Structure 1
Amino acid sequence: MADKYKHESLSVEEQQKLLEKYDPESATRKLRGPISIVVFFGLLAFSIFQLYASITQSIPRQILLSIHLGFALSLIFLLFPVSRKSKKKNSVAWYDYIFALLSVGVGAYWPLMIDTIVNRVGILTPLDLTVGTIAILLTLEATRRAVGLPITIIAALFMAYAYFGQSMPGFLGHRGLNFEGLVNTMFFTSQGILGTPLYVSATFIFLFLLFGAFLVKTGVGQYFNDLALSLAGRRVGGPAKVAIFSSALQGTISGSSVANVVTSGSFTIPMMKKLGYRKEFAGAVEAAASTGGQIMPPVMGAAAFLMVEFIGGISYWEIAKAAAIPAMLYFSGIWIMTHFEAKRMGLEGLPKEQLPNRKEVLSKIYLLIPILLVIVLLMSGVSVMRAALWSIIGTIVVSAIRKDTRIGFRQMVEGLVDGARTALSVAAATAAAGIIVGVVTKTGLGLKLANGLVGLANEQLLLTLFFTMITSIVLGMGSPTTANYVITSTIAAPAIILLGVPALSAHLFVFYFGIVADITPPVALAAFAAAGVAGGEPIRTGVNASKLAIAAFVIPYMFVLSPELLMIDTTIPYLIWVVFTAFTGMIGIGAGIIGFWYRKLYWFERIIAIIAGLLLMYPEGMSDTIGIILFTVMLAIQIFTKNKGKFKLAES
């Protein structure tokens, strides 16, 4: 990090306060004494169990998921207070000890009773009913504490819908589930809490969270900042481009928009403000870029792992490959607009003396090898679990190249504990998401909502896409990435698929708009966190972030209308053409939104630039032709009138 900005970055304590305010996953107790040791070894045991299960792959699915759930629930009740305003923030309340013990019992029930449960074939004993009910209640409460209220409310409403099905109006009506049937579905089948979402958490996601924790131990987070500074710091509006570049890199290992904002934003936002960017704009750049980290392959906020299971018949590598071009266009759009804003304000880059030594930075480029290793392994057909395991080993080996990045035994143990800690909220979120999926599967709600959306749109694709976009944004508000995707893919994606859209395009469409909820007011957690770092006004920061992330509102329509953008059934020449026109279109849209190109734009020029950009981004021959003509004319006018002394047209 450049020395000049060290004192302006937020301290670790300030970062933690912001995280606790906007990110429920970070609002944990600061335990001391014997209970802190119990929790430490509990987290360590959680990671060791998951590694053993992944390496041997010998544990039956229901037992694996039950133990995974038991670990997560018990540790959540010990680590997360009943509320953020709780007076017992640094000690465990008596009732949380009870909840933790009940969670251990819930986790042990399937391993101890699996033979009798399977032999009874869905017939519940009073003990089954009691344990299942406790499991549901503990899951909802743990989710509320570790993830937040929105997904907890949605899961509870879905269970209410399943129970009161006969009272539902119109097409929403169904036979309904009695209490025993509801408990049976939620805990004693593979369709509820112990369903596909939790399975993905217990296998793929946990290993990649461990991979991320080990990467952090090498110092790769700070290295991302230094690399971004050395490559982009001297460019026009340098700090903003550093934020974009750094957040794109952070997104390869981060599973949270808010955490990305606070960690990298505490470094980049002060630099942007010092250079001359407005507080709300500086916060918006970081919020938009950090949110984009969730759509950046290979990890994609862990949603890619869920897509493999939800879509079926598709490999993880195909999903990561399909998401690559849209992600690059997204970050290109933010880069273009920050460039035009810097030009409009007359901002330059950082002087050379305020940047890290490029040779020193490049000497640590080996820290990126584990990330490249993941990509290479997945390309070569290695399973996701094996790729994650080998990448963890690769991280340890690569870290040994230099003493200051080396992971010793103590760092390994800390990495195991940190990875398990990060996995707690994911496990809770996916368990609650399993409730939603279970209800949808049992009642056929997904198809009913899909038919409802399509009917409302009169079977028009663009109108259906619009309604699905609104639905996904609303459902995504306040939900973490994994739960966000489960909800939107279960409720919203079927509507698009009904109209013949490829499943991958449909799932990525709802995923994008679910993620965009993090920067879309009124519930824009990433934007609010960035405003906290920048000292700006939250709603205004969210509005600015939404403008900067305009690509995220346009690109999903593009890849639904033209799946070639996802590298589906396309040729290289056509793909190059689509990417070229899309990138050119982003220049026009960016110039129109910012109001500056080679000079300040008149209001009608801004409208023309945006129209030209949208036409270029729409994948169709006639629209591309008109868009290129408009873009070329606008570009020519800009070039020939940029000298205000020669042309009155260019007056500001």
Structure 2
Amino acid sequence: MTDETKQKRTFSDDELQDLVASTDTGGRNPANRKVALFISAVALLWSLFQLWIAQPQLWFGAWLPVLNSSQTRPVHLGFAVLLAFLAYPALKSSPRDRVPLHDWVLAILGAGSAFYIFLFSRELAMTARSGLPTTNQIVIGSVGILLLLEASRRALGPALTVVGAVFLAYAYMGQGWLIPDIIEHSGLSFNAIINAQWLDTSGVFGIPLGVSTAFVFLFVLFGAILDKAGAGNYFIQLAFAGLGALRGGPAKAAVVGSAMTGLISGSSIANVVTTGTFTIPLMKKVGFSSEKAGAVEVASSVNGQIMPPVMGAAAFLMVEFVGISYVEVIKHAFIPAVISYIALVYIVHLEALKRDMPALGPAANLGKMFLKIGIGFVATAIAFTALVWTIGALRGAAPMISEWVILAAIIVAYVLMVRTAARHPDLALDDPNSGKFHLPTVKEVFPTGLHYLLPILVLVWFLMVEMQSPAKSAFYAVAVMLAIIITQRPLKALFRNEDIAAAFRAGGSDLIDGMITGARNMIGIGVATAAAGIIVATVTKTPIGTELAGLVELLSGGHLFIMLLLVGLFSLILGMGLPTTANYIVVSSLMAGVVVQLGAQEGLIVPLVAAHLFVFYFGIMADVTPPVGLASFAAAAVSGGDPIKTGFTAFFYSMRTVALPFLFIYNPTLILYGVDLGTTAGILHAVLVFVVATIAMLLFAAATQGYFLAASRKWESAALLLVAFTLFVPGFWLDRIQPRFEELEPTRLAEAFDQASVGDTIRFVVAGPAFVDGSPSTLTLVHTVTDADPQTGRADAAGLFLLPEGARLFMDEPMFGTDYQTKLQGFDFYSDPRVEVVSLLHPADRLPKQLFWIPALALLGVVVMLQRRRQTKPAF
């Protein structure tokens, strides 16, 4: 196919926006103005409701009831289901310019089934939630589940609907020729299923929907209003100003621009279309093929979901599932996300070198650019630290007036920022297809959007410094953003001597549009989290939750690496029809615990957050992977390239994202697990991890691209992979020559508990018959001593019943309700042979694992020396 033919396949701007709407906000656009206004009014009312329940000052409690989570979740879902039937057509052939009568009926029934849970919450507490559902409640619950699955099909495609239906059938039937013996059960009654899934608080209205209600909506709304205010355009222009003058500059700008817009957009497809309509034609102009230009945009847009501090809805679910704070999630996700983007910038740089691509304007040096960015980060960190100290000193010196002083300072800073922006013309994107293209400079762009950084600063401040909840932090950030979107136009008009009244009207229109867009962006997420609750409830109500580990262990032969491959493949396949959020909920509910359990059986302690991040990373890759890969199809629609080839190229560019989860499973230090950032030593350790991981990922990128300083020979690519692996996981080679632990007598376990200091860990191995089939099973456990532990008798306090008999140490079933009762539930304590502690492991005195960096760097030096002889272009 010729380029000319491909060019004819590119979509118009209206078609591209329709593509985004059909996947994110609903493709229906009623011609009847009253119907269109009704849909917009419902969306606006939803945003107002979410802001009302999120505001932290309950001043209205004397006049209006304060709603709890069991009441807000049904209202949240009611809005989502109502809008799903009104905004999303049932079929491709369904009318898009009107809402058919049957869709009105389904919308009212679906929303009514959800609102029923809100209106009759007290009655439900005394009947259904006490195990005595009435006939009317069962009927309403049945209708609600069916219509939720249909709303899911419309908004998200058939995959989640099919998966939900399969889990419901499994819960009801329990047995059958398709159900493996290991997860068979007697089956639940129809009433029990409806009660658990719809009428109770653990199914549809469980944790996933609660996270969507409390956290996700506010962050999506924040992003929608920020984008409506002009921040998306500002970030794109800033990326081009900073990187456009480099070799292959448009591709590098696409990567950085998508990283920044990832802060405000949780949608890969919207990110592709928003930045891609500008970046893809410019990438093609400097020499990228249609498929490679689209692939670069896809790879960078999809990774926006792993970029802190927002990270999409899955990050907030991780808070609930793992039981850690949101700040901890950001800490663990930061280094993998940043080095992934740095590596992608390097990948497109290598593509530019291989094809000798020109720059847009006078060529600049990538090394100097990285240096400037590094200096900028350091300067920002110093300024932020100074701000923390200044505010801390102010609060200490004048606590009564400090908050008012801070508020006044924010207002003054905002007015000065807008005044600075008003002195420059408003940003407008050039036509990338025109013959002339003006490459902006940082000096031109940076001052025009300084005020967009203010709400992001507020968000980060409340999350990282004030240590507030994500909901409260997002509320304050949204409040600042609401003030900005209303006032920025009038303030600019004031400073430019323009019509202030017209500017106020435009600002109000922007505010309403942003709130409507934010609500419509939430339709799919709200429905997805509710439908995924069906899977979560089935996992908890049936044996599949506890016995799946045995099934996966059987398929993987008990090998953790093979099991990780299976989990990654499962995530990719499931994610081909599911959005990232729903995919994460399903796979993490089924597999995260299994990863931890099988790792423990191999003696490898896998942090639960690492297992969840592993699932999350593979979930986002489904937006790339053919044959579904919606982001790849969106990019192909912009570039005019082949969507399947675009998807495969994007997957190849994303190999670094595929490799990272395996690396931090085997080396949790990569996610800063166990690194205390509250100490100087911890910060230095984190810096070392970041530097080494960045170098390793750049080498990995060079190896997969077949180009480093020059075109690489096969053995050189293999050597680069070996060096990268050694830098990432140096302990792998040390484990081959020195054991990690020395074995002590198991009878010393209770003594080891009592002698350990706070923060120390005790590692021991338990062996015994498996609860399912009595087969021999082993498990490695790690106990961390905390301040709450007593000085003596710590093993007993932890719930362990230890029974020493001579040189052996047997165990009875741990105390009910303790962590060890959960950890050891896979053992049968009432059969022979008995469960016993077979080994107490003490860290062995070993060589520093970092010694293996020396031969790795020496091998890298050999490759550099040989490639320097063939090098014809500057490396940067």
Shared fold, TM over 0.5: yes
Instruction: State the alpha-carbon separation in 1 of the partners of residues 248 and 569 from structure 2.
Output: 33
Q: Is the 8 Å Cα contact of residues 155 and 524 (structure 2) preserved in structure 1?
A: yes
Q: Show the counterpart of 1:403.
A: 492
Of 66-75 and 282-291, deviating more is 66-75
Of 373-382 and 449-458, deviating more is 449-458
- The CA deviation string for residues 44-66 of structure 1, in whole angstroms up to 9 with x for no partner, is 11111121122267212222111
Specify which of 329, 354, 362 is matched with residue 339 of structure 2.
329
Instruction: State the alpha-carbon separation in 1 of the partners of residues 461 and 730 from structure 2.
Output: 31
Q: Offset of 1:138 from its aligned partner?
A: 0.8
Specify which of 518, 521, 538 is matched with residue 623 of structure 2.
518
Q: Show the counterpart of 1:49.
A: 49
Q: Show the counterpart of 1:490.
A: 589
Of 162-171 and 315-324, deviating more is 162-171
Instruction: State the alpha-carbon separation in 1 of the partners of residues 853 and 577 from structure 2.
Output: 37
Q: Show the counterpart of 1:389.
A: 475
Q: Is the 8 Å Cα contact of residues 374 and 388 (structure 1) preserved in structure 2?
A: yes
| Aligned AA (2:329) | I
Q: Show the counterpart of 1:618.
A: 729
Q: Is the 8 Å Cα contact of residues 163 and 178 (structure 1) preserved in structure 2?
A: yes
Instruction: State the alpha-carbon separation in 2 of the partners of residues 519 and 636 from structure 1.
Output: 37
Q: Show the counterpart of 1:32.
A: 32
Q: Show the counterpart of 2:155.
A: 146
- The CA deviation string for residues 443-483 of structure 1, in whole angstroms up to 9 with x for no partner, is 13233222322333333332222222222222222211211
What is the correspondence of 1:86-97 to structure 2 with a 5 Å cutoff? Answer: 86=94, 88-97=95-104
Instruction: State the alpha-carbon separation in 1 of the partners of residues 872 and 146 from structure 2.
Output: 68
Q: Show the counterpart of 1:98.
A: 105
Q: Show the counterpart of 2:282.
A: 271
Q: Show the counterpart of 2:412.
A: none
- The CA deviation string for residues 220-254 of structure 1, in whole angstroms up to 9 with x for no partner, is 11111101001111111100001100110111111
* 2:273 equivalent to 1:262: yes
What is the correspondence of 1:407-426 to structure 2 with a 5 Å cutoff? Answer: 408-426=507-525
Q: Offset of 1:391 from its aligned partner?
A: 0.3
Q: Greater share of strand residues, 1 or 2?
A: 2
Question: Per the alignment, in what secondary structure is the counterpart of residue 203 of structure 2?
Answer: coil
Specify which of 36, 48, 68 is matched with residue 76 of structure 2.
68
* 2:667 equivalent to 1:562: yes
Q: How many residues are matched?
A: 634
* Distance change >3 Å, CA 14–CA 101, structure 1 → 2: closer
Question: Per the alignment, in what secondary structure is the counterpart of residue 194 of structure 1?
Answer: coil
Q: Show the counterpart of 2:125.
A: 118
Question: Per the alignment, in what secondary structure is the counterpart of residue 548 of structure 2?
Answer: helix
Q: Offset of 1:502 from its aligned partner?
A: 0.9
- The CA deviation string for residues 326-355 of structure 1, in whole angstroms up to 9 with x for no partner, is 001111121111111100100122116721
Question: Per the alignment, in what secondary structure is the counterpart of residue 601 of structure 1?
Answer: coil
TM-score by length of structure 2 reads 0.70
Q: Offset of 1:537 from its aligned partner?
A: 1.6
Question: Per the alignment, in what secondary structure is the counterpart of residue 436 of structure 1?
Answer: helix
Q: Is the 8 Å Cα contact of residues 191 and 441 (structure 1) preserved in structure 2?
A: no
What is the correspondence of 1:576-595 to structure 2 with a 5 Å cutoff? Answer: 576-595=687-706
Q: Is the 8 Å Cα contact of residues 588 and 631 (structure 1) preserved in structure 2?
A: no
Instruction: State the alpha-carbon separation in 2 of the partners of residues 392 and 216 from structure 1.
Output: 12
Instruction: State the alpha-carbon separation in 2 of the partners of residues 568 and 357 from structure 1.
Output: 40
Q: Is the 8 Å Cα contact of residues 28 and 98 (structure 2) preserved in structure 1?
A: no
Question: Per the alignment, in what secondary structure is the counterpart of residue 492 of structure 1?
Answer: helix
Of 634-643 and 46-55, deviating more is 634-643
What is the correspondence of 1:271-420 to structure 2 with a 5 Å cutoff? Answer: 271-312=282-323, 314-351=324-361, 354-363=438-447, 364-379=449-464, 380-399=466-485, 400-401=487-488, 403=492, 408-420=507-519
* 2:236 equivalent to 1:225: yes
| Aligned AA (1:366) | H
Q: Is the 8 Å Cα contact of residues 255 and 481 (structure 1) preserved in structure 2?
A: no
Q: Offset of 1:610 from its aligned partner?
A: 2.8
Instruction: State the alpha-carbon separation in 2 of the partners of residues 510 and 527 from structure 1.
Output: 21
Q: Is the 8 Å Cα contact of residues 333 and 549 (structure 1) preserved in structure 2?
A: no
Q: Show the counterpart of 2:212.
A: 201
Q: Show the counterpart of 2:372.
A: none
Instruction: State the alpha-carbon separation in 2 of the partners of residues 555 and 44 from structure 1.
Output: 40
Q: Is the 8 Å Cα contact of residues 262 and 271 (structure 2) preserved in structure 1?
A: yes
Instruction: State the alpha-carbon separation in 1 of the partners of residues 462 and 730 from structure 2.
Output: 33
Q: Show the counterpart of 1:641.
A: 870
Q: Is the 8 Å Cα contact of residues 305 and 312 (structure 2) preserved in structure 1?
A: yes
Q: Is the 8 Å Cα contact of residues 255 and 297 (structure 2) preserved in structure 1?
A: yes
Question: Per the alignment, in what secondary structure is the counterpart of residue 197 of structure 2?
Answer: helix
Instruction: State the alpha-carbon separation in 1 of the partners of residues 245 and 626 from structure 2.
Output: 33
- For structure 1, the residue ranges without an aligned partner over 5 or more in a row are 1-7, 645-652
Q: Root-mean-square deviation (CA), in Å?
A: 2.1
Select the structure with the greater relative contact order (CA < 8 A; seq sep ≥ 6): 1
Question: Per the alignment, in what secondary structure is the counterpart of residue 90 of structure 1?
Answer: coil
Instruction: State the alpha-carbon separation in 1 of the partners of residues 578 and 228 from structure 2.
Output: 27
Q: Offset of 1:310 from its aligned partner?
A: 1.1
| Aligned AA (1:594) | Q
Instruction: State the alpha-carbon separation in 2 of the partners of residues 516 and 435 from structure 1.
Output: 24
Q: Is the 8 Å Cα contact of residues 138 and 191 (structure 2) preserved in structure 1?
A: yes
Q: Show the counterpart of 1:3.
A: none
* 2:554 equivalent to 1:455: yes
Q: Is the 8 Å Cα contact of residues 110 and 148 (structure 2) preserved in structure 1?
A: no
TM-score by length of structure 1 reads 0.93
Instruction: State the alpha-carbon separation in 2 of the partners of residues 408 and 454 from structure 1.
Output: 58
Instruction: State the alpha-carbon separation in 2 of the partners of residues 319 and 560 from structure 1.
Output: 15
| Aligned AA (2:719) | I
- The CA deviation string for residues 169-194 of structure 1, in whole angstroms up to 9 with x for no partner, is 31120121111111111111111111
Specify which of 563, 580, 583 is matched with residue 481 of structure 1.
580
Instruction: State the alpha-carbon separation in 2 of the partners of residues 410 and 588 from structure 1.
Output: 49
Q: Show the counterpart of 1:431.
A: 530
Of 12-21 and 340-349, deviating more is 12-21
Instruction: State the alpha-carbon separation in 2 of the partners of residues 79 and 237 from structure 1.
Output: 40
Q: Show the counterpart of 1:59.
A: 67
- The CA deviation string for residues 564-615 of structure 1, in whole angstroms up to 9 with x for no partner, is 2222212344433333332222222222222222222223323332333233
Instruction: State the alpha-carbon separation in 1 of the partners of residues 607 and 468 from structure 2.
Output: 25
Instruction: State the alpha-carbon separation in 1 of the partners of residues 118 and 660 from structure 2.
Output: 46
Q: Show the counterpart of 1:5.
A: none
What is the correspondence of 1:135-214 to structure 2 with a 5 Å cutoff? Answer: 135-167=144-176, 168-214=179-225
Q: Is the 8 Å Cα contact of residues 237 and 338 (structure 1) preserved in structure 2?
A: yes
Q: Is the 8 Å Cα contact of residues 256 and 480 (structure 1) preserved in structure 2?
A: no
Instruction: State the alpha-carbon separation in 2 of the partners of residues 518 and 38 from structure 1.
Output: 32
* 2:641 equivalent to 1:536: yes
Of 67-76 and 111-120, deviating more is 111-120
Instruction: State the alpha-carbon separation in 2 of the partners of residues 171 and 184 from structure 1.
Output: 26
Instruction: State the alpha-carbon separation in 1 of the partners of residues 711 and 721 from structure 2.
Output: 15
Instruction: State the alpha-carbon separation in 2 of the partners of residues 35 and 12 from structure 1.
Output: 25
- For structure 2, the residue ranges without an aligned partner over 5 or more in a row are 1-8, 59-65, 363-436, 494-502, 600-604, 676-681, 732-848
* Distance change >3 Å, CA 447–CA 392, structure 1 → 2: same
Q: Is the 8 Å Cα contact of residues 165 and 177 (structure 1) preserved in structure 2?
A: yes
| Aligned AA (2:49) | F
Instruction: State the alpha-carbon separation in 1 of the partners of residues 334 and 206 from structure 2.
Output: 29
Q: Offset of 1:643 from its aligned partner?
A: 4.5
Instruction: State the alpha-carbon separation in 2 of the partners of residues 643 and 255 from structure 1.
Output: 41
| Aligned AA (2:293) | A
* Distance change >3 Å, CA 541–CA 623, structure 1 → 2: farther
Q: Offset of 1:115 from its aligned partner?
A: 2.1
| Aligned AA (1:512) | Y
Question: Per the alignment, in what secondary structure is the counterpart of residue 236 of structure 1?
Answer: coil
| Aligned AA (1:439) | T
Instruction: State the alpha-carbon separation in 2 of the partners of residues 209 and 24 from structure 1.
Output: 12
Question: Per the alignment, in what secondary structure is the counterpart of residue 120 of structure 2?
Answer: helix
Q: Offset of 1:9 from its aligned partner?
A: 10
